[in-house]
Structure 1
Amino acid sequence: MTGETIPYIDLEKISEQFECNKLRNACEKWGCFRIINHSIPLTLMDEMKMVVVALHDLPMDIKKNNKDVIPGSGYFGPSVFNPLIESVGLYDMGSSQAIQDFCSQLNATPHQRQIMETYGILDADFEDWPCQYRINNYNFTSETIGSFGASAHIDSGFLTILQDDENVGGLEVMDNYGSFVSVAPFHGALLANLGDIARAWSNGRFCNVKHRVLCKEPTTRYSIATFMLGPRKGNVEAPKELVDHDHPLLYRPFTYEEYRTLRVSDNNDRDKFLQACEVLELLRLV
């Protein structure tokens, strides 16, 4: 272990050069960072957490109404490969209709709908990049301590913003020495993870961070992940400013749909949903 901890990025100082340099270094070295002093009210985060708990307390037959829009976007329950996690999902959370459909599937109350719509407004600026909710429940017990809640994996999209459990730890990210580093709970902060699309877009300069969740205490753990996936139209391709003699183009242009199809075809067993994929190797030029 290196003894290092992941960087903290202060959004109130993001216009300052020092903070911008910290952000770039975090993307290149870690592929993840904590976000503090963001614009999401703490009261909204707490209310959203209560909604998540209530949704996971629903009867199984209601939760199974949360159907896939794209593969892996709806409900999935504990499996042989990942026996401790249960999740519901919402694809294209920037769409008011998608949020209403999700709420109807789960018989959400008017108040719960209002909270999720307010939370979803945060993604309104990404209309050309669909975003997806993944609302997770980890059922940890004394018998499962030391087991994986989520096995080591890399996210498929560009950026994941995680509202992690403010009380229960277990999340770990891999540093550039290949060691896993614990991410301690931090009430009010968010965690940003970069995925495969970010690595391809940056021409390999950004780290697509590998991460996992371990059971460390016998209690229920919740998290809310917002995935900014990839462009609806056009290619994922490195900007010309990131390609030169010393940094030749690493990946051929591709659409997010092409990438997703490759990933699903390489990993189409729901029991392996959270496994790391090496799909980018299929898209490399050099």
Structure 2
Amino acid sequence: MIVSFAEKMLRLEEMVETLTLEGLGVGGESICAHFGQLTHGFRFSHYDPPLNKETGISMVPHRDDTMTTAILQHEVEGLEVRVEDGRWVAVPPEPGTITFVAGEQFTVVTNGRVKACDHRVRTPSNRERYAMLFGRKRQDGVAVTVLNDLVDADHPLMYRPLKHEEYSMFRYTPEASKFDDPLEAYCGVQKDGDGARV
């Protein structure tokens, strides 16, 4: 049953990615090549009641270092996403709903056009909660690179290639914690004084 469910989640996640990439102008051949370099994983998450009853925070704000993550919540509230104006918005655990979250790898692949989603777990009811997560990422040893279709005169290259396993090691270091955007610090193409990317 779990294998069948994971296969359906893979198809659904590929559909969401395809629609997003097509909407940005990426061709079918590039999308197929992109999918050929991905792997996926499925896990169950259990969150104890939050230690801090006042804030209700079970997991601090973060961005996934994956391509995308599909999140299925079970009955108890918790998932919150940060919207453009900085507010945190709750994503209700409605039956039959799936929340898709863009990760940092997708930011690189889309040349910064799809930002990784800031999200956290906050459970004001102070109950334990469960969730299922289905994530996709680049295969180990294969560099995450910007899709060529998304680089042009109006959209200069924003990220150098990165290897998932190396970046994952960096982003949990004290050095990475100094930056608001560890991804940008790690592989962002820097601007010179005139605003040109170098």
TM-score for both structures, normalised by structure 1: 0.51
Specify the alignment match of 1:173 in structure 2. 81
SS at match of 2:47: strand
1:140-151 pair list within 5 angstroms = 140=49, 144=53, 146-151=55-60
Q: CA RMSD of the aligned region, Å?
A: 2.8
Choose 1 or 2 for highest CA Rg: 1
Give the whole-Å Cα distance in 2 for the aligned partners of 1:196 and 1:266.
Answer: 19
In terms of fraction of residues, the more helix-rich structure is: 1
In terms of fraction of residues, the more strand-rich structure is: 2
The code of the aligned residue for 2:138 comes to: G
Give the whole-Å Cα distance in 1 for the aligned partners of 2:66 and 2:131.
Answer: 18
1:277 to partner: Cα distance: 6.5
Specify the alignment match of 1:157 in structure 2. 66
Does the aligned pair in 2 maintain the 1:160–1:227 contact within 8 Å?
yes
SS at match of 2:96: coil
Does the aligned pair in 2 maintain the 1:128–1:233 contact within 8 Å?
no
- Percentage of matched positions with identical amino acids: 24
- Does residue 281 (structure 1) correspond to residue 185 (structure 2)? The answer is yes
1:121 to partner: Cα distance: 3.0
1:244 to partner: Cα distance: 1.4
- Does residue 120 (structure 1) correspond to residue 6 (structure 2)? The answer is yes
Count, aligned residues? 165
TM-score for both structures, normalised by structure 2: 0.72
Specify the alignment match of 1:222 in structure 2. 130
Residue by residue over 1:111-165, the C-alpha shift from the partner in whole angstroms, topping out at 9 and shown as x without a partner, is xxxx323233344886742222332112227972532111100001010011112
The code of the aligned residue for 2:3 comes to: E
Gaps of 5+ in 1: 1-114
CA 245–128 in structure 1, closer or farther in 2 if over 3 Å, else same: closer
Give the whole-Å Cα distance in 2 for the aligned partners of 1:216 and 1:142.
Answer: 11
Does the aligned pair in 2 maintain the 1:173–1:181 contact within 8 Å?
yes
Does the aligned pair in 2 maintain the 1:132–1:228 contact within 8 Å?
yes
Does the aligned pair in 2 maintain the 1:145–1:217 contact within 8 Å?
no
